[in-house]
A = this chain, B = another copy of it.
Amino acid sequence: MSSKLNVLLIGAGGVGTIVAYGIDFVGKSNLSIVVRRDYERVKDKGYSIDSVDYGSLSGWKPQKIYSDIDAAADSRTPYNFVVVCTKNLADIVKMEDLVEPVITPEITSIVLMQNGFDLGRPFFTKYPKNVVISGVSHIGSHNHNGSIVQTQNDKSLISYFDNPNLEKSLQEAETKKFISIYSNEKNNCTYFPDAKWYRYRKLVYNATLNTVCALTGVDTGRLELSGGLESLSIPAMHEVIAIAKADDVELPGDVINAVVHSDDGDWFEPSMRVDVKKGNLLELEVILGNLLRVADELQVDAPILTVLYNLLKVVQFRLKESQGMFKLPEKRHVKDKIYK
């Protein structure tokens, strides 16, 4: 029996595969992964990876490969870490329910390498004594029909979502333990003490530029030239900053300027804009939905973000329909409701 830690990674696509390889590269874990779409090929031939961090590899496989989470739960020893690298579509699948078969209470630490805000909350309710780790990854990596092409260094900031039922020191130690099995001389993985601050900082961009570009179909450069940056996104950034402040998070005084200038020189299309263009579902609930729930609890007005959220919910409905998630009748049903 190995003294290594048992690690399960869920969602081995563009980003997840590089995270998995990084963990395997360190060599302190028994690494299993869940691969849905590419299961047969990966099981058979392993991964082909072309990586700025690790070079060109072919046929790489972790110790175990599962086609779904239930299969991964057959393992006799509990997982020390379950690392989730899927998209976070909380209006379709709740992450805390998805991972249930592989979580052992008090034992398994859950690592959410995902976009979004306030992701820990539903886990604290469902798994009150488990540590929930926050991973924010700045990486460029894509899955081209099973070939992973990583064009940008795997740079990640690892923190914990502060679980009120657990000591901070325990959560910090567990977070650093995860870093010790993932950080290596090829990637750039560091501890960041305050997940909440960092997630708010990211929202200054994601809640305001991602969303407006997704609705209007432009990149951030065209958004600036068309006037939308100043009429919509910057006022919306002030709403994010006000919610953060009411939530005891003080963002830097120059955060708006830094965020706007972060795309300097590029006609950059934010990920949510790309998702709409490609017909992919939006990570709307974990970006705007969670933020507006906090705003509501703290009684902070966010009129622009609220309109953006309500508009994007309609877009999400359209995207779900276009993905065949539901079908409408040819003749529209007439509601006898009286509208006021």
Contacts and interface: CB of A to CB of B under 8 A. Distances in A.
Interface of A: 212, 215-218, 221-229, 231-232, 234, 256-257, 260-261, 263-267, 303-304, 307-308, 310-311, 313-318, 321, 328, 331-332, 334-335, 338-340
B334 A222 contact: no
A86 B131 CA distance: 64
Given A227-B313, A311-B216, A313-B231, A222 B256 contact: no
Copies of this chain per assembly: 2
A106 to B, nearest CB: 39
A227 B310 CA distance: 8
Nearest to A237: B339
Contacts of A257: 338-340
A310 B257 CA distance: 21
A314 B256 contact: no
Nearest to A322: B217
A314 B265 contact: no
A104 B80 CA distance: 86
A263 B332 CA distance: 9
B225 A317 contact: yes
Nearest to A257: B339
A328 B256 contact: no
Main secondary structure of the interface of A (DSSP, over half): helix
Given A212-B314, A340-B256, A331 B227 contact: no
Contact of A222 (B228, B263, B328, B339): B328
A317 B260 contact: no
Contacts of A328: 221-222, 225, 267
Report the 3 A-B pairs with minimum CB-CB distance, sorted nearest first.
A226-B317, A216-B314, A228-B314
A276 to B, nearest CB: 9
Contact of A315 (B216, B225, B316, B338): B216
A108 B231 CA distance: 40
Contacts of A264: 332, 334
A310 B215 contact: no
B223 A314 contact: yes
A325 to B, nearest CB: 13
Contacts of A227: 310, 313-314, 317
A318 B215 contact: no
A263 to B, nearest CB: 8
A226 B318 contact: yes
24 contacts: A216-B311, A216-B315, A217-B315, A217-B318, A218-B314, A218-B317, A218-B318, A221-B328, A222-B314, A222-B321, A222-B328, A226-B316, A228-B310, A228-B311, A232-B307, A232-B314, A234-B340, A257-B340, A260-B339, A263-B332, A264-B332, A265-B334, A266-B332, A267-B328
A40 B56 CA distance: 63
Contacts of A267: 328, 332
A336 to B, nearest CB: 9
Nearest to A330: B267
Give the most central of A223, A310, A321: most B CB within 10 Å: A310
